[in-house]
Structure 1
Amino acid sequence: MNLPTTCLGPKLSFTRVVDSEAHLTTFQTQMMLTGGFDAVYCKMLMSTLSGAALEWFISLPDEHITSFDQFATLFREQYLVNKAPVRLSYDVFDFMQYQGESMKDYLNRFAIQLVRLKPTDEAMIVHAFVKGMLPGPFSESLLRVYLIA
């Protein structure tokens, strides 16, 4: 099956360094814009592989892959060790403000971590945020408010 001429393809490359699940998610998100059939998805995913990952794909027996779901499963299994470790809510306590980092930048980085971790305990989130702040007048005032409440 030939690829549609309007199909630009995904703008990413898998080299065995990144999380295979993240690669598949990014790939599928980009491919949703182009549409296409199972065969198109398979060919386009193959085009994102490079280095040892491409060698792995080439080593598969001819006609071994019959659907994109099967390809994605094989890909996940092959690169399972690349899967990012599951982060837990209390991992947010390891998050600290950098020396010289503005409060706005720290807050933005902290917010990104919250999205990734999905903690639900508001008091824990506030405590972790304050704990990670560098000492100073602002953090001390927050601590006073937090301890009084």
Structure 2
Amino acid sequence: MPPVPHYDGTIDPLDHLETFRTMMFLHGASDGFFCRAFPTTLTGAARLKPNSIDNFVYFGDDLVRHLMSSRRPRKTAVSLMALRQEDGEPLKASVSRFNREALQVPHLDPSAASNALLVGAKSNEFRRAVARRNPHSLMNLMAGTEEYISVEETLAALDSNWRRTSEEEKNPTK
């Protein structure tokens, strides 16, 4: 069985608990095994006294309550609206950052994601391209975004090549 990462109380306890439960269910473990195995995944301030778990279902709720201060607030579509493309940041990097955040929003509506991406982008040309596409799914939104980035990078490379060739023609080396 692959090891479950250790939990020290500094990250969201629900993430750790769900990872552990998934691993145990995957291997068909019994509730008794859950109770004996779970303490081995805890370190530091999260460590428990031996044999302190006798029912895993109730224990999970107790653990979350006990470690509530470590719990991360859940991301929402509204939190995506605060993301902005930084000055000088390439669109590809900005969209990558947006994607990492969007993955943390449960049941993200495609139109909300599209609006957040449009609000945060600096390029009006990009905004037009996304708005024209009117994505009906997150996959469609990202496909259009990747297509735009690919075209933008290709044009930039061609422009750079054209400038270099033009400079070489103006200043031929002997």
Alignment TM-score, normalising by the size of structure 1? 0.71
The C-alpha deviation readout for 1:79-137, integer Å capped at 9, x for no partner, is 11212113332111112334554433432332332232233261x4223212222x3xx
- Does structure 1 residue 27 correspond to structure 2 residue 27? no
| Equivalent pair of 1:92/1:128 in contact (CA under 8 Å) | yes
Equivalent residue in structure 2 for 1:112, among 100, 107, 110: 100
The C-alpha deviation readout for 1:41-99, integer Å capped at 9, x for no partner, is 11221001111111xx11xxx76532111221221111112121133321111123345
CA RMSD in angstroms comes to: 2.7
Distance 1:102 1:26 in 2: 35
Local SS of the residue matching 1:90: helix
Could you say if the C-alpha distance between residues 105 and 67 of structure 1 is closer, same or farther in structure 2, counting changes exceeding 3 Å? same
Unaligned runs of 5+ in 2: 135-174
Equivalent residue in structure 1 for 2:11, among 15, 18, 24: 18
State the percentage of identical aligned residues.
Answer: 24
| Equivalent pair of 1:15/1:49 in contact (CA under 8 Å) | yes
Distance 1:52 1:40 in 2: 23
Aligned AA (2:95)? L
**Aligned length in residues:** 131
Bigger shift: residues 96-105 or 13-22: 96-105
Tell me the CA shift for residue 142 of structure 1.
2.7
Could you say if the C-alpha distance between residues 102 and 142 of structure 1 is closer, same or farther in structure 2, counting changes exceeding 3 Å? closer
Distance 1:26 1:101 in 2: 34
| Equivalent pair of 1:41/1:68 in contact (CA under 8 Å) | yes
| Equivalent pair of 2:35/2:54 in contact (CA under 8 Å) | no
Answer with 1 or 2: which has the greater Rg. 2
Distance 1:14 1:76 in 2: 12
Local SS of the residue matching 1:94: coil
Name the residue aligned to 2:165: none
Higher normalized contact order (CA 8 Å, seq sep 6+, divided by chain length): 1
Local SS of the residue matching 1:128: helix
Name the residue aligned to 1:141: 125
Name the residue aligned to 2:29: 36
Distance 1:29 1:46 in 2: 16
Larger proportion of helix: 2
| Equivalent pair of 1:9/1:31 in contact (CA under 8 Å) | no
| Equivalent pair of 1:9/1:44 in contact (CA under 8 Å) | no
Distance 2:3 2:57 in 1: 18
Unaligned runs of 5+ in 1: 1-7
